Chain A
Amino acid sequence: MKREKTTKLVLTFATMTDAMAADSVLGSELGRIIPVPSEIHAGCGLAWCADPAKEEAIFEKIAAHHLTFEGKHHIALY
C-alpha cells in the first residue's frame, strides 16, 4: 500500500504531562498522540496530530480545560 502525505494539524507540548492532559481531554475523536515529526521542534517528544477540519472543536476544548501547548503547526504527514 502506498502511503500519501496529507496536511495535519500538529500541536506540540513542553512536557509529557501537558501532552497527556491533552490526550485525556481531546480523546480519539479529535486526533491522537504521535512522535514529534522531525520537521518541527518541541520540548516534549509527544505531539497531538489531528485532521485540520477539527481545529475549531479542538481549540474549544483546549480553552474550556485550560490546556497548555507549545506550538501549532500545519504540516504534511503520512
Chain B
Amino acid sequence: MIYLDHAATSLPKPPEVLQAVETALQTYGGAGRGVHEAAMNANRNVFAARAAVASLFGFSPERVAFTANATHSLNLAISGLLGPGDHVISTALEHNSVLRPLYRLQQEGMELSIVPADQNGSLDYEQFERFLQPNTKAVVCTHASNVTGGILDLSFISTFCKTHDLLLIVDAAQTAGILPIDATLDGIDVLCFTGHKGLFGPQGTGGLCIRKGLDISPLIVGGSGTDSYAKTQPEDLPEALEAGTRNGPGIAGLLAGIQFIQRVGIENIKEKTDALRSAFIEGISSLPDIKIYGDQADPHVSIVALNIADIDASFVSHVLADEFGICTRPGAHCAPLAHEALGTKSQGVVRFSFGLTITEADVEAAIEAVHSIAKDH
C-alpha cells in the first residue's frame, strides 16, 4: 500500500506514539480525578501535552483546551464567541467544520459574508474590506485549503482583523505541525487544531488555543474535577471547556507526536514533503489530460488536487486503490464552496497528499499510475 492520504490522517504514526498510547492504556488513570499514582500519571501527561501544544503555537498552557478534533474545536470557538446580531466574514475555501457551525448561527440571526475564490482557488482578498460592517465581530478561516492545499495569506487577514478590531479564529487542521505557527506573530485569537494529521497523534485528539483575555462559553457542561458543588460549569480555562473524562491515551499519543515533530523539525518535514509534491507535479504535468487545481505559484501544503480529463474523481481514486494500491481521497472533501469555485462540483477532485514516510519510489509509482489511467482513457 502506498498511502497518499496524509491530509485525511497521517499514517503510519511514529513508533513512540504507539508506545505512548500503550503506556497510557496500561498505567494512566483519570486525569483530574484523583491524586493516586495512576491519576497523577495521567495528570502529568495531560499537563505535559498542554505545555507542548502551547509551546508549539505560542500560547501558555492554561490557554490550551483539548477536544476530540478540529471540528469539535471550531464548533466550540464559533458557538462560544459568536451569535445573533454579529456579522462574521469567512471564505469559500472552508471545510464544513467551519461552514456548518456558521450556517447554523446564520439561521439563528448571525450575518455571514463569504469571501469568494476564483477558479484557481485563490481568494479575492479585497473583498474582506468590502464586507466590513459595523457589527462585524470576527473572521473565521482556514490556514490552508484541504482541497487544493493552497495556504491563505494569514498575514493579510491578521492585519485586517487587527486594523478593525476583529477576532481571528483559524482552522489549522491542515497546517498544525506542517507549517510554523506563532499565534502572537500571526495575530491569532483562537487556533483550532486536530491531533491526527500533521501532529502525528491518534484520531480523536485535537484542541483549541485561546489568547489571554478571551472567554469562550462551553459547548458542553458536566464533570470538571473542580467546583463540584457549583450548579454551573467552572469558568477557568482550560477545564471549563473540557467537561467529562479526557481522552488520556489519545493525548499521550498526541504529546509523543509533537515531541517527534520537535525532534525531526517542522522545517525538515516540510522540505521533504514539498520535494515529494514537486516531483509528483513534475511527473504528471506533461500529460495533456491532467488538470491540477490551485495556483501553483502560491505556497501550498503537501497536497495535489487533480482530475484526469472528465473522468469521475471517485472512479480514478478507486482504480488507484484497486489496481495500484495507492490511497487517495476523491470527491468533495467536505468543502462545497471550494468545489463550486474550482468548477468541480459534479466531478470532484482526486487529492494526493504526501507525508514524511513517503519515498521517491512511492511518488514514481503514483506518477506511473496516473500516466497509466490517463493513457487508458
Would you give the 0/1 interface string for B33-76, flagging 1 where the beta carbon is closer than 8 Å to chain A?
01100001001101110110000000001100000000000000
B236 & A43 in contact (Cβ 8 Å cutoff): yes
A23 & B236 in contact (Cβ 8 Å cutoff): no
Mark out the residues of chain A between 42 and 67 whose CB falls within 8 Å of any chain B CB in the assembled complex.
43-46
Would you give the 0/1 interface string for A2-28, flagging 1 where the beta carbon is closer than 8 Å to chain B?
000000000000111111110110000
Chain A positions within 8 Å of B50 at CB level: 17
Q: Using A15-B226, A15-B237 as known contacts, list a sample of 7 further A-B pairs with CB atoms less than 8 Å apart, ordered by residue number in A.
A: A14-B234, A15-B236, A23-B40, A24-B47, A34-B35, A43-B226, A46-B43
Q: Which residues of B contact A (CB under 8 A)?
A: 31-32, 34-35, 40, 43-44, 46-48, 50-51, 61-62, 225-228, 234, 236-239
B238 & A33 in contact (Cβ 8 Å cutoff): no
Known: A21-B61, A34-B35, A35-B34. A14 touches B226 (CB 8 A): yes
**In this complex, what residue of B is CB-closest to A70?**
B236
CB-contact partner of B239 in A16, A23, A34, A35, under 8 A: A16
- In Å, the complex CA distance between A16 and B34 comes to 10
A35 & B236 in contact (Cβ 8 Å cutoff): no
Q: Which residues of A contact B (CB under 8 A)?
A: 14-21, 23-24, 33-35, 43-46, 68
A17 & B225 in contact (Cβ 8 Å cutoff): no
CB-contact partner of A23 in B43, B225, B238, under 8 A: B43
CB-contact partner of A17 in B34, B227, B228, B239, under 8 A: B239
CB-contact partner of B225 in A16, A33, A34, A68, under 8 A: A16
A20 & B43 in contact (Cβ 8 Å cutoff): yes
Chain B positions within 8 Å of A18 at CB level: 62
By secondary structure, the A interface counts as mixed
CB-contact partner of A16 in B51, B226, B228, under 8 A: B226
B245 CB, nearest partner CB in chain A, Å: 12
Chain B positions within 8 Å of A17 at CB level: 47, 50, 61-62, 237-239
Chosen A-B contacts, 13 in total, with CB atoms closer than 8 Å, are: A14-B234, A15-B236, A15-B238, A16-B226, A16-B239, A18-B62, A19-B43, A20-B46, A21-B47, A24-B44, A24-B47, A33-B35, A44-B239
- In Å, the complex CA distance between A74 and B183 comes to 40
A20, A21, A34 pick with most chain B CB within 10 angstroms = A20
- In Å, the complex CA distance between A45 and B32 comes to 8
B40 & A33 in contact (Cβ 8 Å cutoff): yes
**In this complex, what residue of B is CB-closest to A17?**
B62
**In this complex, what residue of B is CB-closest to A34?**
B35
- Complex A-B, nearest 8 residue pairs according to Cβ-Cβ distance, in ascending order: A20-B47, A16-B32, A15-B236, A44-B226, A17-B62, A14-B236, A43-B226, A33-B35
Chain A positions within 8 Å of B35 at CB level: 33-35, 46
**In this complex, what residue of B is CB-closest to A13?**
B226
A36 CB, nearest partner CB in chain B, Å: 10
- In Å, the complex CA distance between A45 and B48 comes to 19
A15 CB, nearest partner CB in chain B, Å: 5
- In Å, the complex CA distance between A25 and B32 comes to 18
Known: A45-B226, A46-B35. A15 touches B46 (CB 8 A): no
Known: A15-B62, A15-B236, A16-B239. A23 touches B226 (CB 8 A): no
Chain B positions within 8 Å of A23 at CB level: 40, 43-44, 47
B281 CB, nearest partner CB in chain A, Å: 44
Chain B positions within 8 Å of A21 at CB level: 47, 61-62
